[in-house]
Amino acid sequence: MRNEKKTVQNFYDSYGWEKNAAGDFNDTSDFVDTRPVMEAYSHRFAQRMEKIIPPSGDIFMDAGCGPQVYDAYRKFSKNYRHRLCADIAFAPLPLAKEALGNHAICAQIDVTQIPFADEAVDCILCAHVLYHVPADEQAKAIRELYRILKPGGRLIIIYSWPRSFMDRLGIHLNPRVILPKIPGMRWLWRTFFRKRVLGTDEAGDSGEQVNSSPMHPPLYFNPHPYSWFKHTFQDDPFTLQFRCCQAVGLPFSNAFVPNHWTGKLLLRFIAFLEDCFPRTMARLGTYPFIIIDK
C-alpha cells in the first residue's frame, strides 16, 4: 500500500476514530465546529442531503463510511435494503455495525480498487473521503465508484476546495485578529469576537469552542481545485454537477460566527444564499457536493 494511504489508515485506526475525554471522536473534535450555534446550520445540510439522495433502492454504499458519527447521516439509507459501509481503516467498521445493526454490511475496502462487479449498487455517498486519497488516484476512485453504480443510480461526493473564497475570508479578514488593532474597535471585538478558552468561567455561558491544533498523527489531505475536475473528466461518459453542500468551513466559522444570536443570524443568511444560489455557493464555499448520475 502507498505511504499516503498508510498514513490515512493509521490516522483513523489509531487516533481519528478513538474517543477523547469528552466522549467525542478525535476526528470530529479536531476538524468539525461542534458549537451549539452550528446546530441549525448542520441540520439544514442534512435536509439538503435527503433531497438529493434517490428515495429508495437495494444497496446504499457509504464509501469511507467512518463510524457513523451523526444520527442524521444514518437516516440517509433508511429506504434502502442495506447500507454497504466501506472504509480503508478497520476501526470504524465494528462501530458502524453497532450503530446500524443488520442494516449494515461492512467491508474494509480502498475506494481506488473496489472488489465489486460493475453496476452493483444503487446509490453511493462518499463524504469527506476523496481528498484523503492520493492526489493522482482521486480520478481513479471516482471512475471506480461510477463503475459499480447501477444505471439510474447516483454518486454523491462531498469534497473540500483547497482554500475556498470563504476560507480565505476567514483567514485573512479574521476580526478576532484585525479588530483589536483598529483604534476604537476594541469594544466590537470584546463584544462579539474575543476568543474564549474552554474550561474558563468565560466559556461557561457561551459554550464557545476554540479548535486548537492538537498533537495528532499525520493525516494526508490533498484536495484538487475546481479547474482540475473540469479538465480531468472531459472525456468520461458522465458529467459532474456542483451544488453547495456547506459553504461554511472551520476557518470561516472560527473567524466570523460568534456562539450567540448574531452567529445564528449570519448562518441563517448564508444558508439562505446556499439555497438560492447553489452553484455559485458551491464554488465560493468550502464544501461542495459533486453529483454524478448514471
Q: CB–CB of 108/83 below 8 Å?
A: no
For the bound state, the minimum distance from the C-beta of residue 94 to ligand SAM, rounded and expressed in Å, comes to 13
By CB under 6 A, residue 111 contacts ligand SAM = yes
Give me the least distance between CB of 35 and ligand SAM, in Å please.
Answer: 18
Q: How far apart are CA 107 and CA 155, in angstroms?
A: 19
Binder of ligand SAM out of 61, 65, 166, 270 (CB under 6 A)? 65
Q: Which stretch binds ligand SAM (CB under 6 A): 86-94, 192-200, 228-236, 245-253?
A: 86-94
Chain mean position to CA 2: 24
Q: How many CB atoms lie within 10 A of CB 177?
A: 14
The interface mask with ligand SAM, positions 2-21, x = CB under 6 A, is ---x--x---x---------
Minimum CB–partner distance for residue 179 and ligand SAM (Å): 33
Q: Identify which of residues 145 and 281 has a Cβ nearer to ligand SAM in the complex.
A: 145
* DSSP bridge partners of 61: 84, 124
Compute the residue count for the chain: 294
Using CB under 6 A as the binding rule, whether residue 128 contacts ligand SAM is answered as: yes
The Cα–Cα gap between 269 and 243 comes to 17
Output the smallest distance, CB 109 to ligand SAM, in A.
6
Per rule CB under 6 A, count of chain residues that contact ligand SAM: 21
Q: How far is the CB of 4 from ligand SAM (least distance, A)?
A: 9
Q: Which is closer to ligand SAM, CB of 89 or CB of 179?
A: 89
Q: In whole angstroms, give the CA distance from residue 41 to residue 87.
A: 27
CA dist 109 and 272 (Å) reads 38
3-state secondary structure of 130: helix
Under rule CB under 6 A, residue 95 binds ligand SAM:
no
Over 231-278, what HEC string results? Answer: HHCCCCCCCCEEEEEECCCHHHHHHHCCCCHHHHHHHHHHHHHHHHCH
Phi/psi for 109 (5° steps) reads: -140, 145
Tell me the window of 47-55, 104-112, 202-210, 284-292 that interacts with ligand SAM (CB under 6 A).
Answer: 104-112
Q: Is 66 in the site for ligand SAM (CB under 6 A)?
A: yes
Q: Residue 12 or 233: which CB sits closer to ligand SAM?
A: 12
Q: Given the rule CB under 6 A, which of 75-83, 127-135, 230-238, 239-247 is the region that contacts ligand SAM?
A: 127-135
CB atoms within 10 A of CB 275: 12
Binding residues (CB under 6 A) for ligand SAM: these are: 5, 8, 12, 27, 64-66, 69, 87-89, 92, 109-112, 127-129, 132-133
